[in-house]
Amino acid sequence: MERKCGWDTLLSADSQHYAVGVLVRAMRSSSTPLSSGIALHLLSLLNMERPCWDFAALAFIVEVMECLDVSKYGASLLEIISKNLQSECRERRHLALRCLMLLGPMNPPMAKKLWNLTDNLVDILQENNSFMVRMTIVVLRYLFLHNGAPVRSPIALRLAEALLPLFDHVRLCAPGHGHRLRPGHFVTREFQQMIGLLTKKDRKALKTPVWQSVVPLFIYCHDKNPDVAEVSRTALLCVTKFLRRRDLMQLVNTAQLWKLAECLVRTAWKRQAQAGEAP
């Protein structure tokens, strides 16, 4: 704690939760039973009241989640997580997401109970923070897979509306960000896996918003940054596959983007003609 200036950080309300994380990790290295015992005591207090130190208490609990009996304390954790997901404080939402990423895999039956948080999670996808977005998508995908059923409307439509604009995260793919999996790659991969869970009715409803993402992705394919161009091509391939346009898929696969532009123009004119609009 001293080497990491933990004590000074602990005195500041703005950084207290960071210092608590450092403190708990130091405590666990010497006594796991002690730290888990403290976590259980804090958990019982948080269920009775909302003290001024509940933020620090949540930070403590997150660090010892794997030491807690989820089958016994899962309901209490879920209530606390739900409150913090709806908080206006980004750091609280971040800690709540960390709890969810640990809570689900620790107890698969908990996925059905976590389903009630789906609306809150979809709302978080609107955040202008790529790290929060990645965490949220991981949790959502886990919930969809472990509930063993297709994503239902209107959740599917809300999710699609939230995911498609996230293709803009390809702009964050410049080298030097320190992530093996860039935000754009991450969103594309998860989008591709999630659409496989949709019903035919929902896939049809998504056709228009998916089409709207084609032109922006085509433009990103010509970005001077090679990472941005690469993830844009990957996303564009995913989108054309969803639209079942084999002609466009082949052009993307063979990097014939100039022909893709011509094809997109012809498609746009055809769609206008079918809608009765003047070209």
81-99 tens-digit pLDDT: 998 999 988 999 999 999 9
Partners of 67 in the β-ladder: none
| 148-to-79, 115, 205 alpha-carbon distances in Å | 24, 12, 22
Per-residue pLDDT of 175-195, as tens digits, reads 444 444 455 666 677 677 767
pLDDT higher than threshold 80 for residue 61: yes
| Per-residue model confidence (pLDDT) at position 271 | 65
Angle formed at CA 198 by CA 139 and CA 170, multiple of 5 degrees:
60
Tell me the average pLDDT across 215-234: 82
Could you tell me what percent of the chain has a pLDDT over 70? 78
pLDDT score of 278 more than 50: no
Average pLDDT over the chain reads: 78
What pLDDT is stored for residue 68 in this prediction?
Answer: 84
pLDDT at 96: 92
Q: Which of 186, 187, 112 is nearest to 143 (CA)?
A: 112
Residue 49 pLDDT greater than 70, yes or no: no
Q: What band does 279 get if pLDDT is binned at 50, 70 and 90? A: very low
3-state secondary structure the chain: CCCCCHHHHHCCCCCHHHHHHHHHHHHHCCCHHHHHHHHHHHHHHHCCCCCCCHHHHHHHHHHCHHHCCHHHHHHHHHHHHHHHHCCCCHHHHHHHHHHHHHHHHHCCCHHHHHHHHHHHHHHHCCCCCHHHHHHHHHHHHHHHHHCCCCECCCHHHHHHHHHHHHHHHHHHCCCCCCCCCCHHHHHHHHHHHHHCCECHHHHHHHHHHHHHCHHHHHHHCCCCCHHHHHHHHHHHHHHHHHCCCHHHHHHHHCCCHHHHHHHHHHHHHHHHHHCCCCC
Identify which of 117-121, 168-172, 227-231 has the greatest average pLDDT: 117-121
Give CA–CA dist 265/239, Å, rounded: 17
Does 171 score more than 60 pLDDT?
no
> For the residues 248-261, what does the mean pLDDT come to?
83
As a whole number, mean pLDDT of residues 65-93 equals 87
Q: Which residue has the higher pLDDT, 25 or 130?
A: 25
CA 15 to chain centre: 24
Mean pLDDT of 33-55: 80
pLDDT higher at 173 or 168: 168
Of the pLDDT bands very low, low, confident and very high (cuts 50, 70, 90), residue 272 is low
Q: According to the model, what pLDDT value does residue 174 have?
A: 43
* CB distance 159 to 136 below 8 Å: no
Residue 141 has pLDDT above 90, yes or no: no
Whether pLDDT at 6 is above 90:
no
**HSE value, Cβ hemisphere, 13 Å, CA-based, for 116:** 9
What is each CA distance from 163 to 20, 50, 68, 196, 253, in whole angstroms? 34, 34, 33, 14, 23
The residue among 149, 165, 151 whose CA lies nearest residue 202 is 151
